[in-house]
Amino acid sequence: MINVVFLMLIFFLITGTLAAPLDPDLALVNTTELEGREPPDALVLHQDGSLSFGGAATDPEAYMTGHGTEPVRIVPDRDVSGVRLIEVTGTLRRLGASSVFLVTEQALE
């Protein structure tokens, strides 16, 4: 009996709708034609591990001197080391950043 109940539970979890469906008349925005670029207030982490802000080289200490405790946005290069990314975010948090956001690219296909 418990096997039947378990199988029914699995069936309804797989076939059921967890979220309400979108309105069928809704047309979503298409962003494939937009030019992608980092936000103007973002810290850029390059593939070699160096940081830049507004096109000029910087380091976490110098960046945080002018930004207080506000949230920090980082645009990491796709090929940057994960260890370096964690190191930079940890340093920014220790220097007073209230939060650190990673800006990424999302592609819907």
Query: Residues 21-49: pLDDT tens digits?
Result: 666 776 666 656 656 665 777 889 998 99
Give residue for tokens 């207030």. Answer: 41
* Confidence check: pLDDT of 85 > 70: yes
pLDDT tier, 87 (very low <50, low <70, confident <90, very high otherwise): very high
pLDDT tens digits, residue range 49-80?
999 988 889 989 988 987 888 889 998 888 88
pTM above 0.75?
Answer: no
Amino acid at 22: L
Per-residue burial over 69-99, b = 16 or more CB atoms within 10 Å of its CB, e = otherwise:
eeebbbbbeeebeeebbeebbebbeeeebee
Residues 6+ apart with CB under 8 A from 91: 60, 61
Element (H, E) at 94: helix 82-94
